[in-house]
A and B are shown apart, each in its own frame.
Chain A
Amino acid sequence: MRVWAAMAVAAMVVFAAPAYAAPREQLVIGVSQFPSTLHPAVNPEAIKSYTMGFGLRPISAFDSDWKNTCLQCTELPSLANGLARMEGHGMAVTVKLRSGLLWGDGVPVTAGDLAFMWKLGHDPESGFADLSYWLRVDSIEVIDDLTAVMHLNQPWTQFDHLPGMLPEHLEAKAAAAGKQPGDYAKQSLYARAPTTPGLYNGPYRITQYDSGTQVVLEPNPYWHGTAPGFRRIVIRAIENTAALQANLQSGDVDFAPGDAPSLTLDQVLALRRQHPDAWTYLFKPALSYEHIDLNLDNPILADIRVRRALLLALDRRTLADRLFEGMQPVAASFVTPLDPMHDNAVPVQPYDPVRARALLAEAGWRPGPDGICRNARGERLSLEFGTTAGNRVRELAQLVMKDQWRAVGVEALVKNDPARTFFGETVKRRQFSAMAMYAWSTGISYPPRQVLASDQIPTASNNWGGSNYMGFRDAGMDAAILTAETDLDPGHQRAAWAAMQRIYAEQLPALPLFFRADAYVLPKWLKGVRPTGHSDYSSLWAEDWHAE
């Protein structure tokens, strides 16, 4: 027995040393997902974009003030400065790169790298997840090492959102080696050898890649901008968010970002209540838009009075205050108030159960003996209400809304599915009979064709493509989307965006709920992190992060 006890004590002495004090020259970021690939154009994932933000810079990006800014260019193209001009049925957009830009192996970044990106992006067999940008570009003309002209086949209002580039000197071989469709994505060094220095042109480059576990970044010696503040940044994936929180508390993780998948909003709010002074907490309203899609083919929901009554019966502000401590603003439409195209003339509908009941009565729905409304044929006002099962906050909100609707005589029948079934079948194939609650994410002032245009309604004939799950058809909306996409006149664009928001608020193809907030937990010593709230993540300005 004594021998065993002695061995146990010895083992403790050897292995159980106190954790080392976190050196301030290293920052460990805790996230709950791991990127499936590091190739910037294959598989769009928030965690991938966040990770690559440290090492690979696009030519332009929206900053934390939601202003499009040059990261690798000298100035943004515009009609006013002549770098963008109309030509034929399309446009010519001149891109001027900064001089002195280098890849992580010392090779200069050139306009040829942009042309190489276009060549791959234009090839439907490259495996790029978003060809839509590149299919608008008919050709790229390389003028000199720092200048290229993109020839667009039609006017495009997003022409000044300039893309990323790929290192041609490294990736050309992989592109040439592809024999089967999709081979390039497999052969790319971003997949096969992601620690190759020349793949990166940002302040950090990836020096260690442990698939599924962690990515280690160290300063890029060929970066000419502000010197990075850390000797090492570790992005560690801990899938279980309870374990992730414990890692934060133990000091194994320093920082939980809000713009990458990490701690949930309710976890951060709880952490702030328990340890208000232990960390710095930041909350940034974001582009993700939580809403309830209404299936407009449902005869009950085809009546606009019922749709309005459903919205008026919801006390969204109290819900946001109680569940999210007021961090998630209530939505008036799909456009966040932070977006330059937001129209203040479209107000948030108030909570008005009296008006809701009146609208239902006007639509022929009168309360029955159990309080649930019935129509003249005796049919109950009963609607299925689904969301992603297992999402605790959503399910909690769902129960509150169910009660609020019941108070005005609407019966909501909860029918939730696992996320995979919900997105893979229920909404994708429009199998929800009435209401489906989830979130959209989009870009700043990005025209909402995919979700609101009538040509994007999923059907068997289009192989269930498009995301207009509501089945919304409105000629005014279609025209406004087209204008927002192609009319370069700023006044026309603003009018089109105002029309889209007005039509959306009037027609209510979906019930607007909230705009999500990104919740950050930072160590007190970490400075310089500026949450953006959109898909150009804060990591794109990581050279400003430092310890104090």
Chain B
Amino acid sequence: MDVTLNVRRFDPESESPESRFQEYNLEVEDYFTVLDALIKVREEVDGSLALRCSCRASICGSCSMRVNGHAKLVCKTKVRDVANAQNQVTVEPMGNLPVVKDLVSDMKPFWDRVRAVKPYLQPEGEEPEAEYLAPNETMLHLAGVMSCIMCGACVSDCTAIEVDQRFLGPAALAKAYRFVGDPRDDADRSRLQMYSQPGGIWDCTRCMECVQVCPKGVAPMDRIMGLRDMAIEAGFSNNNGARHTEAFTDSIKHSGRLDELKLPLRTFGVFNVQAMMGLSLVGLRAFLRGKTPPIIHKAIPGKDKVRRLFDKVEGKR
């Protein structure tokens, strides 16, 4: 079939280095991946197009880019699955990372995040003479996380990193989960404490983008939620994120709906002067726009049923 690739180009050495789109019309086979098509461009049409690729089998993690606005591993993405009705495909470098040239992103901020979680096993005590004994289910579960190929797709499309570059982000925190979940690692407490700091597990906004774009089914957001549970269980609840979670849960559990006034008070603490001043401004703006939540919080009629749901779920744990 004939397709048009719309590729965002960027040449840092040009006189006016600004990105621009370039159209390539080419014929592709039915089985072609977007990577096959890009390679065809590079080899037959325009040798100056820069991209990274190697394995062609979704394991080396080199070829993450944005296809039609979302991060994809292009060796895993068939052209016919992403071409629109006019047989066009848009290809851009990943988001949330600086661009080196064309489709090549600067991965340094990505690797820096991974390094920041102390991504290596920290056992204590003497090593056993043979292997550590471990349940196979645990190893298989960790294999699901270690399937991460560090391609950067989740970081590219993370909506929290977009507004705050300090967030460790999905890939690094999924990597962190792999150690906390590993029975051989003895640094769980210090890890959970570290991951509970600002920029850590509580900065995820649960938008699900990382789960959607991950080409390996790692589901980073689910791992971050797992870390949150473990952090609270380990007693690291003296932070905004954990308090927010607890206040949210309490409110729903007792009244069946969210007490929007109480939530920020419990999250930040009434005596947190700076936060309270900031909140009062938000409250004022809400009042001016007629969006103030009810002062007196009322329970919903079926609150007992909600309570029973909680009992059921919590009993199961």
Q: Do A and B bind each other?
A: no
